[in-house]
Structure formats: structure tokens, C-alpha cells
Amino acid sequence: MSLDLSGPSASMPASAAASGVAARRRNLLPALVLLGPVVMFLLAVFVLPVGLMVRYSFLQQLPDGTLAGGFTLANYVRLGAVDLYRNVVVTTLRISLFTTLGAMLLAYPLAMVIARGPAVIGRAITVLVIAPLLVNVVVRAYGWRIILGNGNSGVLNWALSSLGLGPVEILYTEWAVIIGSIQVFLPMMVLPLAAAIGRIDPAVEDAARTLGGSSLAVFRRVTLPLSLPGLGAGCTLVFSLTASSFILPALLGGSFTKMLGTLVEEQVLTVFDWPFGAAIATAMVLIVMAINLLYMALIERRFRSRATEAA
Amino acid sequence: MSENGLGRAAPLIYTLTGLIVLFLLLPLIFPIVLSISDTPFVTFPPRGFTLQWYGKVLQDPDFTSSFGFSVLLSTTAACGAVLLGTPTAIGLVRLSFPGKGLVQALVLSPLIFPSLVTGIALLQLFSSIGSNDAFLNLWIGHVLVTTPYVVRTVSASLVVVDPGLEEAARTLGAGRFTAFWRITRPQIMPGLVAGALFAFVTSFDNYAVSMWLFDASHVPLPMMMLSLISRMFDPGIAAIASLMIFFSLLMVLVLERLAGLRRAMSF
């Protein structure tokens, strides 16, 4: 390969070469060769189409199917003002919030065992947490349909009736979507949380215990606050993934529980109203971006300021 | 040091952990339980024992052609992701140049960006430029969403390789490419294999991009399964789900063996 940089400096150790403007400039050609293809690829099939989509969301589709040029906010107004569509936005936010809260509660015991338990058990739990993640979401949603099935066919109702309890109707409600979403996205909460707890010096927790703190007090005053960065990262991931999911509301929510994912599919693939679909998709991106910015503002700044105080 | 670092609450934490792991495994267990039911429709509890549904499914041309198509798509997409992602990781880890932060953010952004939206944007792009080749469209979409995983795993294994070794080879007269191929490549192989497998699995499970780009003669497995759920009511569907679960568990074992699951996930 003709990447070779002739001259005596070419054999300089990378650590020395990395500093200095001259070295940075000398890196430009190899950087272009190594990173040019990926940048071109991403500009062509990621940045460009997303930009076009956002532009589309400001067009309006006329009743005859043609697009009106210019610039209109009509699609966004429709999403926010028409009850039918506003309810979808509110439902999406509510389901995402409940899923995040549920995942948060369930994630702590798992993360504690992964980070603090004996190595063998920690590793086994890690595998058990990640394994379901590799099973297709369609398959897992199908599993939940079997379990939550209404009437007498569902596993849950069979179990309840053998306990003498009445049947419950969960499938095709928000609760079914929330239960399924917690199961599907819980690993995304557990893994960053376990990483954050693993970074806490166990001596700090031991010291708190030695000083007479109960298990609950040690958790509440030491482990919980120090694990907040991981918890924040997990919440951001779970909320974003739930808010932009399609399979779970489609298979577990039925036609009564619509989320942004099912609405955008209907608008693009059934109604063929692309500008409105583009606006829904853009709204979905804005929700995800807002959650990420909130995380950075709340968690990262707080920890940075604390680190500066300590220094 | 208190025993095993969990303090006095250890029994409670272990009990909760057991229950939560059971909750995670529930939707994997019941399709398998129902797939052996000797009844003409899916019902719980299963009655009798039969493997006929597996036989029926494995002979169903819809299922087998869809499985074959998914394997082809995911294998080629993983190859594309490795070819595109490996040089990217090397450039981002080893070089320092103006605008590096921007390139890094761009390369990893498909991970955070909702794939559903990536799919819609690609559908609009492909239909506006008249690209009707469903395989090519799906392949581009899958390479796009899997490349960041390769970049992450290869970067993670590159940072622990001492660049001095490659420099030494260069000093001894090896060209840049030879030095990389003979010295660095063998050391980053675990990361590369993990990245390729992870790209394969991610592509194999993808629905968020596929649902916009597939057509009647190019149906990835998740889309096939999705359409079967609404029109197939015998335990054959549970058998398909079970086969997909077994396939995923096989991938879990391979990934854990070759790379360590947690590292492949980059947490």
C-alpha cells in the first residue's frame, strides 16, 4: 500500500507523533484513506436521507396526492392539535416513562449481583441478561402474546384460574406494551448500571457498613448516588428505545394502543401520506434528542462540577 | 470485607435477581412449551407431545426461503460492516487530525438515532432516486446500522495493542500495510470476530429498517414471522419462534466463547 510516509519522522513513536500541529497535518492523508469511505457512505445514506426527510415534513400532501411546495408547519400542527394524533404522542410518552421506571426498579438487584456478587454468578447473570437481547423482538413479543392472551388461552389467565382468580384482560392494553417493553429493554438498563456500580470502590460501601449503616441506608446514601451516571445512561437508552419501538405496540397494543411507531407505519405504508409520516418520524427524533440532552444537562454537568470541586 | 460484597441484604437481592431473570426468560420458555403441543391450535396448557410442527415448518418453502434470505443478507451485511468499520476504527484510534471528534460522532450516530426513522429516510431516498433493487436497498440499510458495532469492538481491542510493536516493524523495514497485517491484525482478531458476529446478529434480528425496504420476493425472517403471527394459528408458529430462539441461543454461546458477551456489547 502506498500509505508510507517517507522521511525520518515516519518511524517516530506514535505517542510523540500524536502531538503537534505538524503531526496532525501529516496524518491528514492516512485519515482520508482510512475514514474517507465511511464518511462518504454515511453522508450519502444517512445524513442526506434524514435531511431530505426533515425537509419533506414541511411539505403538504394535497388530496389528489401531489405535494404542495413551499414551507408549512401544517403536519406538526396536525400532530399536536388533532386529538387522535395528540393522544398517540401522549401515550408514547406515558408508556416510555412507565417502562423506564419499571426497568429502573428491576435493574438494581441484577446490576448489584453482576458488579458485587461472586465472579461466577456475576458472569452467569450477565449471560442470562444479554441472551434474551439476541432473541428477535418479534419472537419475544409473540411469547408475551401467548402469556398475556385474553380469555382462557393465555398462560397467565390459566395460572390465575387454577388459583381461583378471575381472568384479566391485559393483551391489547398499554400494560401489555409496558410489560413487553420492560422485558425487551431491561438489559439496556442493567449493563450501564452494572458498569457504574462496578466503578464504585467497595471500600466506600464497607466503610459505611462499618460505621453502622443498615443495608438500606448504605444503598440509599452511598450506592444509589454514586451509580447515578449509569442509571441516567440506562434511562436514556430505555426511554429512547421504547419511544421509537414498533413491534411491541403493534403486537401487544393492538389497534387501541397506538404509539408513534405504529402511527408512522400506518401513515407511510397504508395512507401514503409521506409528509405527515416524515413529521411523525421527526417528532420521534426530537423526543429522543430531548431525552439525551436532558441526561447530559442533569447528570453529566452535576458530576463534572463535583469533580471540579474535589480537585 | 463483608462476604461477597452485597452485605446483609444478599439473600433478598439473590431472590429478587432469580425472579427477575425468570421474568426475562418467560417469553422464551412458553413458545418452546407450546411448540410440542398435539393440538390443531395454540393453547395452554399443551396437550400431548409431537414434533410434527417442526417437521411441517422445516418443509414450508415460505419459512426456508426466508431463513436462507436472512442468512445471505446478514452475512453480506456483516462483511460490508467489517470492511467499512475496521479502517474506521484504526483511523479513529491511531490518528489525530482536525475534525476527529466530528467524524467520531458521525460514525457512532446510527447507534443512538432511532433505526425506525433511518428506515423511513432510506425508503424515501430509494424511491425518489428510483432504486428498486430490494436486496441492494436492504443491504445498504443493514450495513449502515451494523457498522458502528464493528467500529466499537475493533476500537476496544485496538486501544490495548501497543503501537510501538507496529512502529518497530516499520523501523525494521516493513511497509505500513505489511506492518499492520503481520503485527496488529492478529492482535485485534478477537475484536474483529466479535464485531462481525455482532453485526450478523444485529442484522439478522433487524426489523426497524427491513420493514420499510423489503418486498414480496425478499422477506427477512422477522418480517416473515410478523406476517405469520396474524394469519397462522396452529403451533407451527410456536415452532418457528422456538427455532429462532434456539438459533439465538447458539449465537449467544458462540459469542460468549469467542469474544465474551459483555465485551461484544461494549459495556
B167 with A247: Cβ contact below 8 A? no
* pLDDT of B1 strictly over 70: no
- Here the ipTM equals 0.90
B222 with A110: Cβ contact below 8 A? no
pLDDT tens-digit series, residues A260-295:
999 999 999 999 999 999 999 999 999 999 999 999
Question: Cα–Cα distance between A44 and A40 in angstroms, integer?
Answer: 6
Name which of B96, B124, B205 is nearest A53 (Cβ-Cβ).
B124
Residues of A within 8 A of B4 (CB-CB) are 116-118
pLDDT for residue A2 = 33
* pLDDT band at residue A166 under the 50/70/90 scheme: confident
A126 touches chain B (CB under 8 A): yes
Question: Cα–Cα distance between A54 and A39 in angstroms, integer?
Answer: 21
Question: Cα–Cα distance between B192 and B210 in angstroms, integer?
Answer: 25
pLDDT for residue A8 = 38
Question: Cα–Cα distance between A147 and B241 in angstroms, integer?
Answer: 14
A98 touches chain B (CB under 8 A): no
pLDDT tens-digit series, residues B189-227:
988 988 999 899 999 999 999 999 999 999 999 999 999
- Average pLDDT over chain A, rounded to an integer: 87
CA dihedral defined by B203, B207, B211, B212, rounded to 10 degrees? Answer: -60
* pLDDT of A127 strictly over 50: yes
The answer to which of A61-70, B65-74, B127-136 has the lowest mean pLDDT is A61-70
3 state DSSP class of B215: strand
Q: How far is CA B242 from CA A233, B65, B210, B234, B239, in A?
A: 33, 18, 22, 14, 5
For an interface test with B, give the residue of A1, A11, A45 to mutate (most B CBs within 10 A): A45
pLDDT for residue A30 = 86
Instruction: Return the residue of B nearest to A145 by Cα.
Output: B27
pLDDT for residue A305 = 61
B121 with A53: Cβ contact below 8 A? yes
Question: Cα–Cα distance between B149 and B77 in angstroms, integer?
Answer: 12
* pLDDT band at residue A176 under the 50/70/90 scheme: very high
A residues 11-50 closer than 8 Å to B (CB): 11-15, 18-19, 23-25, 27-28, 30-31, 33-35, 37-39, 41-42, 45-50
Instruction: Return the residue of A nearest to B164 by Cα.
Output: A13
pLDDT tens-digit series, residues A227-261:
998 999 999 999 999 999 999 999 999 888 999 99
Q: How far is CA A277 from the centre of its chain?
A: 21
* pLDDT band at residue B143 under the 50/70/90 scheme: very high
Which pairs with CB-CB distance under 8 Å and at least 24 residues apart come from A200-209? A200/A115, A200/A226, A200/A227, A202/A116, A202/B1, A202/B5, A205/B5, A205/B7, A206/B1, A206/B2, A209/B2, A209/B7
3 state DSSP class of A67: strand
* pLDDT of A28 strictly over 60: yes
pLDDT above 70 as % of chain A: 89
Cβ–Cβ < 8 Å for B74, B207: no
Residue spans of beta strands (DSSP E) within chain A: 60-61, 67-68
How far does A201 lie from chain B, in Å, by closest CA?
A: 11
A109 with B261: Cβ contact below 8 A? no
Question: Cα–Cα distance between B42 and B47 in angstroms, integer?
Answer: 10
* pLDDT of A222 strictly over 80: yes
Residues of B within 8 A of A145 (CB-CB) are 229
Residues of B within 8 A of A186 (CB-CB) are 20, 24
The answer to which of A10-14, B18-22, B162-166 has the lowest mean pLDDT is A10-14
